[in-house]
Structure 1
Amino acid sequence: MSQVQAAVVADAPTLGAMQLNAFDDGHFDDMFPQPYVVAAWENFVRSFETAEHGLQSRVGVIRDESGTAKGACLLHIARDKDALAALYSPWETIWGAPLPGMNTAKLDEFFGGMTAQHKAVLGDTPHVYVEIVMTHSTARGRGHSLTLLKWASDIADELGLPLYLNSDKDVVGLYERVGYVRQPEEVRTSKMVPMLRPAVKA
């Protein structure tokens, strides 16, 4: 299996392009323009390099033979109340201020529904939030998603923390294979499915 490496700032343009490629269904066209997502990924990588406390973001990537990132995982580690408050804060706090022309109403609905169910499931419990697992369309079918999920699980297990993610309904089975449990329908406030992997001591 391919090895997961820490992303570097130079990966940001590739990560931004990969996000647009991986989630290319037309729904996100006016929500995530390329300059915006590239800047966001750069900030995610930089935040890991500079964060000493509070919410910590980590980006893991799988590279091809040429060194180009073809799969990636974005996660956030929230170990205290300040970090949890940041995690549940408005999307602009984590992703950055919107650019002119972005559909902020759709973004509010998209992120707001996911945040509400996320908070309903975990509340003030310290945990790791897996925000994005993605693979470029040219590299699918190679087990990259499972490798990235194991990387995330290893981080959480080392910290003794549970993992949470919001899943597209079509890939719930993938997450169930690696220990995530679908949460009760009554907490669901989004098109995405809330899923939790209990804490495991490494």
Structure 2
Amino acid sequence: MSKVEDAVAADAATLGAMQINAFDANQPEPLFVEPYAVTGWATFIQRAASSRSGPQARVGVIRDDSGNVIVQGSRHSLTCLLHIARDNDAAADLYGPWQESWGAPPPDMSKDRLDAFFGEMKAQHKAVMGNVPHICTFIFPKSRGGGGWLTAPMTDLEIIMTHSTARGRGYGMALLQWSNEMADGFGLPLYLDAGEDVVGLYTRVGYVRQPDELRTSKSLVPMVRAAVKV
């Protein structure tokens, strides 16, 4: 199985470029710009390396044989972002303004579109999990065939993404199993918002589709993997 490692500061530029490829490559009007994405990843990596109150970040990557996070050519990789909310207060913080996580957007990005994008996910996430301690995940891409993101677990596995040339190689499964092991170590449930066509993938690693009455998103399916005590 592919080995997952913690990201380091030098990976931020690669992860920002990967986000643009995974999410915005096929969009007529990109939602993000690369400098903003790079800064966001640099912030998450820095938070993962520090001790702070509230949700704890964790960024995992899969590297090539040379130890690099490569997103072009014949060498490919994947990454995921988790937010670990170990108490009720930290869980409540997960639903704060998206700018607190990603930073204020530059003038060439649409705040209204970002509000709609993040707001839909946060509303559904909160409806399902409330202030229960958990881990949460967002995953790129949203579907097997195109750009977007797949969201998953509540130790908060916020993002799993892969370059378009690296899909179908088992990297996503490796990161999901990595996040499962982390959640099990904390004894926490995992939450995700999944694209309809990848619900089966998450079911294979223990996630359960939540009742339709809890669903507030037209495009994303809420799923939860129950806590496992080890």
**How far apart, CA to CA, are the structure 2 residues paired with 1:27 and 1:143?**
29
**How far apart, CA to CA, are the structure 2 residues paired with 1:71 and 1:103?**
27
1:81 aligns with: 88
**How far apart, CA to CA, are the structure 2 residues paired with 1:80 and 1:187?**
22
The answer to whether 1:199 aligns with 2:227 is yes
The answer to whether 1:187 aligns with 2:214 is yes
**How far apart, CA to CA, are the structure 2 residues paired with 1:144 and 1:55?**
25
Higher helix share: 1
Count of aligned pairs: 201
Alpha-carbon distance, 1:28 to partner: 6.5
Q: Is the 8 A contact 2:89 2:131 kept in 1?
A: no
1:62 aligns with: 62
Runs of at least 4 residues of structure 1 off by over 3 A? Answer: none
The answer to whether 1:15 aligns with 2:15 is yes
- Relative to structure 1, the CA distance from residue 28 to residue 49 in structure 2 (aligned partners, 3 Å threshold; closer, same or farther) is farther
The answer to whether 1:157 aligns with 2:164 is no
Which secondary structure state, in structure 1, belongs to the residue aligned with residue 49 of structure 2? Answer: helix
The answer to whether 1:170 aligns with 2:197 is yes
Q: Is the 8 A contact 2:32 2:109 kept in 1?
A: yes
**How far apart, CA to CA, are the structure 1 residues paired with 2:117 and 2:196?**
15
2:74 aligns with: none
Give 2:3's aligned amino acid. Answer: Q
Identity %: 59
Alpha-carbon distance, 1:11 to partner: 0.3
CA deviations over 1:124-150 (Å, ceiling 9, x no partner) = 100001111111122222200000000
Give 1:142's aligned amino acid. Answer: R
1:128 aligns with: 135
Alpha-carbon distance, 1:66 to partner: 2.8
State TM-score, norm by structure 1.
0.95
**How far apart, CA to CA, are the structure 2 residues paired with 1:124 and 1:80?**
8
1:26 aligns with: 27
The answer to whether 1:119 aligns with 2:126 is yes
CA deviations over 1:93-134 (Å, ceiling 9, x no partner) = 111111112111111111111111111111110000111111
Alpha-carbon distance, 1:81 to partner: 2.9
1:107 aligns with: 114
RMSD over aligned Cα atoms: 1.3
**How far apart, CA to CA, are the structure 2 residues paired with 1:135 and 1:201?**
30
CA deviations over 1:28-74 (Å, ceiling 9, x no partner) = 60x21100000000000000111343210100000112322211010
Runs of 5+ in structure 2 lacking a partner?
Answer: 70-76, 138-157
